[in-house]
Amino acid sequence: MSTQIVCWNEQCIYYKKLQDATIHKFGFSRKGTQRYQCKNCKKTITETKGTIFYSKHYSEETIIECFKLLANNNSLVSIERSKQVQGYTILLWLKEAAKNKSQASGLLAQHNFTENEISRLWGYLLKQKPK
């Protein structure tokens, strides 16, 4: 299993360290998301933390909506305007997501993204020229 669940407690020695043995499954959240617990500091972690859907400033919903718009050929500029999220930020999320495409695709599929939409998202990233 290649889960990327890490401890997010800054005081913990396993903070952001990929140490599978320290994280174990710990029931589910009310929304049905798998939860985990760090054996060291006993803090619980939800599955979306540390994935593309985790952002300090935006909700999972917002991220999904931006990806959805992008997958349906809306320009970054128009998404910027309708969602009040900077295009640059959306691209960062997409780049983060692309680091683990299989995990991200799975999560997107759970949010009713079609295969076409998912491949358009990755395609969008390929079209970006480094500045």
Helical spans, DSSP H, in 23-114: 60-71, 76-83, 87-98, 101-110
Tabulate helix, strand, coil % of the chain (nearest 5). Answer: 45, 10, 45
Only one of the segments 23-31, 35-43, 108-116, 121-129 lies at the binding site for Zn ion (rule: CB under 5 A); that segment is: 35-43
Binding of residue 44 to Zn ion (CB under 5 A): no
Binding of residue 41 to Zn ion (CB under 5 A): yes
Only one of the segments 12-20, 45-53, 64-72, 118-126 lies at the binding site for Zn ion (rule: CB under 5 A); that segment is: 12-20
Q: How many CB atoms lie within 10 A of CB 28?
A: 12
H or E element: which one contains 28? strand 23-28
Question: Which is closer to Zn ion, CB of 18 or CB of 69?
Answer: 18
Residues between 55 and 84 with contacts to Zn ion, criterion CB under 5 A: none
DSSP annotation of 22: G
Question: Which is closer to Zn ion, CB of 7 or CB of 76?
Answer: 7
Q: Which two tokens stand for residue 115?
A: 């295969």
Query: Minimum distance between the CB of residue 35 and Zn ion, rounded to whole angstroms?
Result: 14
The answer to whether 50 touches 8, Cβ cutoff 8 Å, is: yes
Query: Minimum distance between the CB of residue 85 and Zn ion, rounded to whole angstroms?
Result: 30
**How far is 73 from 2, CA to CA, in rounded Å?**
31
Query: Minimum distance between the CB of residue 44 and Zn ion, rounded to whole angstroms?
Result: 10
Interacting residues toward Zn ion by CB under 5 A: 7, 9, 12, 14, 38, 40-41
